[in-house]
C-alpha cells in the first residue's frame, strides 16, 4: 500500500467587507485622497469588498459600482478656504439603516469631520469594529489661519474621536510618538508607498524645459503642493531668493494651486505657476526639475517627498513627517532641524550650486524610493484591518509587527 502524503496548505486569508468613510477621494487631488485610493486598490486586489462612503463632489455625480466595490454618496458643503473639497454632513441615521441591511465586518474612518463622527457613532451603536486614520494635522493648521486658540479644543476632539476606535493608523513613527504623548491610544504605524514606475527619472522632458525657457545648465527648483499658508511658503520664497542671488538664471516651478497663489505671484514674479497636474504630466514636472524644496511643517506624511525622490530629484526638507523617515542628510538629500529656516535656506543654496553632489544625492534618493513599495505597505494595511476584525470578535488587539502569514 502506497503511503498517504498529506500536503500542508496555507490557510486562506479571510476576505473582509469594509466600509470606508472619507470626505475626500479622487478625482480630488490631495495627499489623503490619492493615498487612500492606493489603499482601496490594494484591498480590492486582495479580494476584500469595499463600500466607500463619501460626500457627493458635484450635484449630478452618480455612485461608482463594480466588482467588490460600491459607493454611497452623501450630502456635503464646501470647506472654508478649501472650496474644491467637501465636508460631509452628519448621516448617522442613514448609515445605521445602510449597515443594518448590509453589515460590514469593519468600519474604517479616514477623516474626522461630521460625516466621520456620525459614522463612528453608527458603528458603535451597531457594535461593528471600527478603526481610523490620522491623516491631517487640523490642530496645527489652526495656527496659520488666525484661530490658534482653537488648537487645544481641536486636539481634545481628535483624541476623543480616535480613542473611541479600536485602532488608529498613523503614517510615521514621529506622528505616533507625538500623538501618544497627547493621550491617543492604540496607535499603529502604516506608512505610505510611492509608484516608482510612474515617478521615475525617465520622465524628464527637454520639451518641457524648453517651455520653461531654461537651458541644460540652468537649475530648475520645483515645489509641489497646495499653495496655502500652512505649507510654510515664506521659507520657500526666502530659499529661492537666496538661490537666485547666486544663480540669477535659476527658475522656480510651482505645481499646485491654492489661496496663496496671488500673493506668491507678487513676491515671485518670474516663477512658473504650473497649476494642478496629474499622472504622467505631474511625473514629467518632477523629473524635468533639478532640485525639490519642501518647507512644510504641518504634514502627517507628505507624499510629494517620496514622489520627488522616486523622480530622481535631490530633496531639501525639514526633518519632519516623511522626510524624517526617508531622507538622510547629505546622503540622499538634505534635511534640517524643524523650524531652522536659516539652515533650510543654506541647504537649498548649497544643493542648487553643487551639481555633482546634487546628482549623487538624486541617484541615492531614487534608490531609497525604490525600497518603499506600495505592495508591502498595502500588506501591512490589510494585516492591521484583519487584526481589528479579530479584536472586534473579542480577541486582544495585537499591535506588534505583522507576521509573514498575515501578509
Beta bridge partners of 107: 19, 130
- The answer to whether residues 220 and 249 touch, using CB atoms and an 8 Å cutoff, is no
Buried b (16+ CB within 10 A) or exposed e, 319-334: bbbbbbbbbebeebbb
pLDDT at 146: 44
- Phi then psi for 167, rounded to 5 degrees? -155, 140
Cα distances (Å, whole numbers) of residue 284 to 26, 74, 313, 404: 20, 36, 12, 37
So what's the pLDDT on residue 3?
A: 52
User: Which value, to the nearest 10 degrees, does the dihedral of the CA atoms of residues 227, 229, 230, 235 take?
Assistant: 90
pLDDT at 407: 59
In Å, the largest CA–CA distance within the chain is 90
- Reading the block at residue 386, the C-alpha cell is 484583519
Task: Give start-end residues of each CATH 3.40.50.2000 domain in the chain.
Answer: 17-193+374-406, 201-370
Q: Annotate the chain with three-state secondary structure.
A: CCCCCCCCCCCCCCCCEEEEECCCCCCCCCHHHHHHHHHHHHHHHCCCEEEEEEECCCCCCCCCEECCEEEEEECEEEECCEEEEEEECCCHHHHHHHHHHCCCCEEEECCCCHHHHHHHHHHHHCCCCEEEECCCCHHHHHHHCCCHHHHHHHHHHHHHHHHCCCEEEECCHHHHHHHHHCCCCCEEECCCCCCCCCCCHHHCCHHHHHHCCCCCCCCEEEEECCCCHHHCHHHHHHHHHHHHHHCCCCEEEEEECCCCHHHHHHHCCCCEEEECCCHHHHHHHHHCCCEEEECCCCCCCCHHHHHHHHCCCEEEEECCHHHHHHCCECCCEEEECCCCHHHHHHHHHHHHHCHHHHHHHHHHHHHHHHCCCHHHHHHHHHHHHHHHHHHHCCCCCCCCCCCHHHC
Give the three cell numbers for residue 258: 491654492
Q: Whole-angstrom Cα distance, residue 268 to residue 290?
A: 19
Model confidence pLDDT, tens digit, residues 197-252: 999 999 999 999 999 999 999 999 999 999 998 899 999 999 999 999 999 999 99
C-alpha cell at 400: 506588534
Q: Which class in CATH covers the domain with range 201-370?
A: alpha beta
- Alpha carbon distance 56, 74 (integer Å): 6
The per-residue pLDDT for 324 is 92
Low-confidence spans in the chain with pLDDT less than 70: 1-13, 81-83, 137-151, 403-407
- What is the structure's pLDDT at 393? 81
Location of C-alpha cell 538622510: 328
Of 305, 359, 378, the closest CA to residue 335 belongs to 305
Query: 17-193+374-406 domain in CATH 3.40.50.720?
Result: no
Q: Cα 315 to the chain's mean position, in Å? A: 17
**Strands lying side by side in the sheet with 17-21:** 65-66, 69-74, 49-55, 17-21, 106-109, 130-133, 167-170, 187-189
d(CA 351, CA 289) in angstroms, rounded, equals 13
Q: CA 91 to CA 77: how far, in whole Å?
A: 13
pLDDT of residue 404: 57
* Whether this model's pTM surpasses 0.75: yes
Amino acid at each position: 500500500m502506497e503511503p498517504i502524503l498529506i500536503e500542508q496548505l496555507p490557510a486562506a486569508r479571510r476576505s473582509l467587507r469594509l466600509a470606508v468613510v472619507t470626505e475626500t477621494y479622487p478625482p480630488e487631488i490631495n495627499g489623503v485622497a490619492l493615498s487612500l485610493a492606493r489603499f482601496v486598490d490594494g484591498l480590492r486586489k486582495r479580494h476584500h469588498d469595499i463600500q466607500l462612503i463619501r460626500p457627493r463632489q458635484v450635484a449630478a455625480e452618480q455612485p461608482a459600482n463594480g466588482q467588490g466595490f460600491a459607493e454611497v454618496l452623501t450630502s456635503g458643503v464646501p470647506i472654508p478656504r478649501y472650496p474644491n473639497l467637501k465636508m460631509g454632513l452628519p448621516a448617522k441615521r442613514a448609515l445605521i439603516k445602510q449597515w443594518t441591511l448590509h453589515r460590514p465586518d469593519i468600519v474604517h474612518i479616514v477623516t474626522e469631520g461630521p460625516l466621520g463622527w456620525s459614522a463612528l457613532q453608527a458603528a458603535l451603536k451597531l457594535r461593528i469594529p471600527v478603526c481610523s486614520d490620522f491623516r491631517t494635522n487640523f490642530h496645527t493648521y489652526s495656527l496659520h489661519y488666525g484661530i490658534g486658540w482653537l488648537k487645544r479644543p481641536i486636539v481634545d476632539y481628535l483624541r476623543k474621536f480616535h480613542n473611541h476606535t479600536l485602532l488608529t493608523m498613523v503614517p510615521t513613527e514621529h506622528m505616533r510618538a507625538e500623538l501618544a504623548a497627547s493621550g491617543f491610544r492604540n496607535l499603529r504605524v502604516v506608512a505610505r508607498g510611492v509608484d516608482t514606475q510612474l515617478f521615475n527619472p525617465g520622465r524628464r522632458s527637454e520639451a518641457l524645459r524648453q517651455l520653461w525657457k531654461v537651458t541644460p545648465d540652468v537649475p530648475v527648483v520645483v515645489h509641489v503642493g497646495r499653495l496655502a499658508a500652512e505649507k510654510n511658503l515664506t521659507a520657500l520664497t526666502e530659499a529661492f531668493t537666496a538661490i537666485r542671488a547666486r544663480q540669477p538664471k535659476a527658475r522656480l516651478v510651482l505645481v499646485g494651486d491654492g489661496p496663496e497663489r496671488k500673493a506668491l505671484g507678487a513676491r515671485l514674479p518670474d516663477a512658473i505657476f504650473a497649476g494642478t497636474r496629474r499622472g504622467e504630466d505631474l511625473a514629467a514636472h518632477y523629473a524635468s526639475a533639478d532640485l525639490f524644496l519642501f518647507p512644510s511643517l504641518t504634514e502627517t506624511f507628505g507624499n510629494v517627498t517620496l514622489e520627488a525622490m522616486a523622480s530622481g530629484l535631490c530633496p531639501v526638507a525639514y526633518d519632519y513627517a516623511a522626510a524624517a523617515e526617508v531622507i538622510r542628510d547629505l546622503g540622499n538629500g538634505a534635511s534640517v532641524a524643524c523650524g531652522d529656516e536659516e539652515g533650510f535656506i543654506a541647504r537649498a543654496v548649497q544643493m542648487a550650486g553643487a551639481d555633482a553632489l546634487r546628482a549623487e544625492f538624486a541617484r541615492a534618493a531614487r534608490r531609497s524610493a525604490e525600497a518603499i513599495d506600495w505592495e508591502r505597505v498595502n500588506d501591512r494595511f490589510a494585516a492591521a484591518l484583519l487584526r481589528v476584525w479579530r479584536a472586534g470578535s473579542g480577541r486582544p488587539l495585537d499591535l506588534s509587527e505583522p507576521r509573514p502569514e498575515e501578509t
